[in-house]
Structure formats: C-alpha cells, structure tokens
C-alpha cells in the first residue's frame, strides 16, 4: 500500500479510519446505505422511484459539498467526502458482482 505524506495522506488515513469505525457502529456500507436508500425511496416516492445504495453515497457527497460552500476549511467535510467516495466505490463494486 502506498503511503502519501503530508495533509493528503493524513486525510486519507483519517477517512479510512472513520469508515472502519462507522462500519462497526452501523454495519457494512452496503447494509447501512441500503437502509438509507429504502428510507429515501419512501421519502422521495413520486420524484425518483428507485434510490439505490450508491445513490446515498453520491447524495451524501453532495451534502458535504454544499457544506463546504459555506465553510471550505472544514476538514471533517473533506474527510467525509473521501470516505463516502470509498464507500460508494465499494457498493458499486459489490453491486456489479451481485449482478
């Protein structure tokens, strides 16, 4: 595994740790995002009929981007974006394997 020095590397390590901790708190990314997608599907019924688990990761990234418009130096939002990108990729990879 390549290690990146400096702030970029620190942020990526912090994001990886946060995703790992959240997995123990909330279940696997697929399980957690499936629950969120089900709730969003009910909430958004009539506007978007099928919210998929990876849509949750995309929407959360957009939420973090919206927050960064107000506070661009908020490190947690940058870290969360990196984490949600990794989670989204894992979900898409899993969806492709499952069919």
pTM of the predicted model as reported, rounded to 2 decimal places: 0.71
The Cα 22–Cα 36 span in angstroms is 14
Which regions of the chain are under pLDDT 50?
none
pLDDT at 1: 59
């Amino acid at each position: 595994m390549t290690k990146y020095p400096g702030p970029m590397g620190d942020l990526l390590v912090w994001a990886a740790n946060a995703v790992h901790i959240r997995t123990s708190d909330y279940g696997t990314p697929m399980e957690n995002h499936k629950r969120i997608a089900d709730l969003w599907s009910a909430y958004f019924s009539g506007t978007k009929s099928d919210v998929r688990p990876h849509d949750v990761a995309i929407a959360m990234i957009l939420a973090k981007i919206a927050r960064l418009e107000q506070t661009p130096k908020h490190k947690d939002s940058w870290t969360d974006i990196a984490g949600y990108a990794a989670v989204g990729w894992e979900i898409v990879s899993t969806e492709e394997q499952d069919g």
